[in-house]
Amino acid sequence: LPQIIFALVLIGFSIFALVFAYRSYLTQMRLNLLRSDFISNITHELKIPVATAKTALEAILNFGISDDKEKTKSYLKMVALEMNRLDKLTTRVLEHSRLETRQHLLHKEVTNLNDFIDRIRNSVQMIYPDSVKINYENPSEIITLPIDQVYIEGVIRNLIDNSIKYGGKGVNIKAKLWQNENQVFISIEDNGPGIAKEYIDKVFDQFFRVPIGNQHNVKGFGLGLSFAALVMQQHNGKISVENLKEKGCRFTLKFTRS
């Protein structure tokens, strides 16, 4: 009998070890896949501005257009634009990895969200006084929450910017703030094109952009929403999106009070 018990324990232990090893292997594989996806995406994103700037510089150097001042100027402008894009991209990627590895400690302050959102709305409205309408449903009760104001303002601005980018001129945006017992919600919705069903689950992935012709005319890195998801994670919260019945989509930030 002791031998049988010993054998059974040994078999049980081996099965446990095998399952554990297999699970670690799967996790490692998944991590590797994510990493190689990230590297190929970032390489692709870096290649475009570098290649464009290189072509423009070569044109100036090789094809003798440096005598043509106007042309040289327009090529140099192109280089400057691409370098600007590169600069923005590297800043965003750095911010991403800092937040992911939690190197950047968020600086949270108890904030009156009613006024906070109103201020953001007013400053965006000032930039687009005619072409964009932002309606803010500000509740009469004051809602406060500890947030990193810089990061959460970035998230809200990114949502509003997206509504403007994808909704185009004349877009109507609605911002809403409300709470229940232990959760606070902020939503931003627009009457733009909305997001195709097959892609709606992907918009929070790094570098994901909906592959639709006319939306590709709109510049972007596909990093804004994945960054928003990270920021929300660090606030004990979540970001979600749904298409609206008629037209457009609604992004909702949900904070759970701790």
Element containing residue 26 per DSSP (H, E) = helix 2-62
Which of 146, 203, 219, 143 minimizes the C-alpha distance to 177? 143
Which of 38, 73, 11 minimizes the C-alpha distance to 208? 38
CA distance 45 to 101: 22
**Does the protein bind ligand ADP through residue 190 (CB under 6 A)?**
yes
3-state DSSP helix/strand/coil % of the chain, to nearest 5: 55, 15, 25
Closest CB 25 distance from ligand ADP, rounded Å = 31
Closest CB 205 distance from ligand ADP, rounded Å = 8
**Does the protein bind ligand ADP through residue 249 (CB under 6 A)?**
yes
**Does the protein bind ligand ADP through residue 209 (CB under 6 A)?**
yes
**Does the protein bind ligand ADP through residue 193 (CB under 6 A)?**
yes
Q: Which is nearer to ligand ADP, 23 or 247 (CB)?
A: 247
Which of 83, 56, 85 minimizes the C-alpha distance to 72? 56
Residues 150-179 interacting with ligand ADP (rule: CB under 6 A): 158, 162-163, 166
The stretch among 17-25, 54-62, 110-118, 185-193 that binds ligand ADP (CB under 6 A) is: 185-193
Interface positions with ligand ADP (CB under 6 A): 158, 162-163, 166, 190, 192-195, 203, 208-210, 215, 220-226, 249
